[in-house]
Amino acid sequence: MSDLYKDRPLSDEVREKISKALKGRKKSEETRNRMSEAMSGGKKLRRFIRRKVLIRDEYTCQICGLYDPIVMEVDHIKPKKQFPDLINDIHNLVTLCANCHRRKTRRNKEYR
């Protein structure tokens, strides 16, 4: 946008037109990475939180009980899309092995 409209608030009609025009448009890898980092609070914070969850759960899958520090993943209990305010909430994260994580993700997609 030009500087002419910089300080003006957009009307709901204009916002809707912009939204429709951008719908389905692909974002560059760089843009997606920046958006992801902005939403999650940065890489250092994500790594710190991930490590805290893994330590809390003792590197053990909370579904099947597998202990393997190398393959453990951290998953959101409540989906990020529906609960963006819980993205970095340690109580909304759980340790899962790769197999259980894939099964849980697949199951959640079936229910949508």
Per-residue pLDDT reduced to its tens digit, 2-35: 455 566 777 888 888 888 888 888 888 888 888 7
Question: Do 101 and 75 touch, CB atoms closer than 8 A?
Answer: yes
- Residue 26's identity, in one-letter code, is K
Tell me how far apart the alpha carbons of residues 104 and 26 are, in angstroms, rounded to a whole number. Answer: 27
| Tokens standing for residue 55 | 């330590």
Residue 68 CB coordination number (10 Å)? 11
Asked if residue 3 is part of any domain, the answer here is: no
Q: What is the mean pLDDT of the chain?
A: 86
Across the chain, the runs of DSSP E, i.e. the strands, are 73-76, 93-96
Residue 93 CB coordination number (10 Å)? 22
pTM of the predicted model as reported, rounded to 2 decimal places: 0.62
Asked if residue 4 is part of any domain, the answer here is: no
Asked if residue 1 is part of any domain, the answer here is: no
What is the extent of the structural domain holding 72? 11-111
Asked if residue 107 is part of any domain, the answer here is: yes
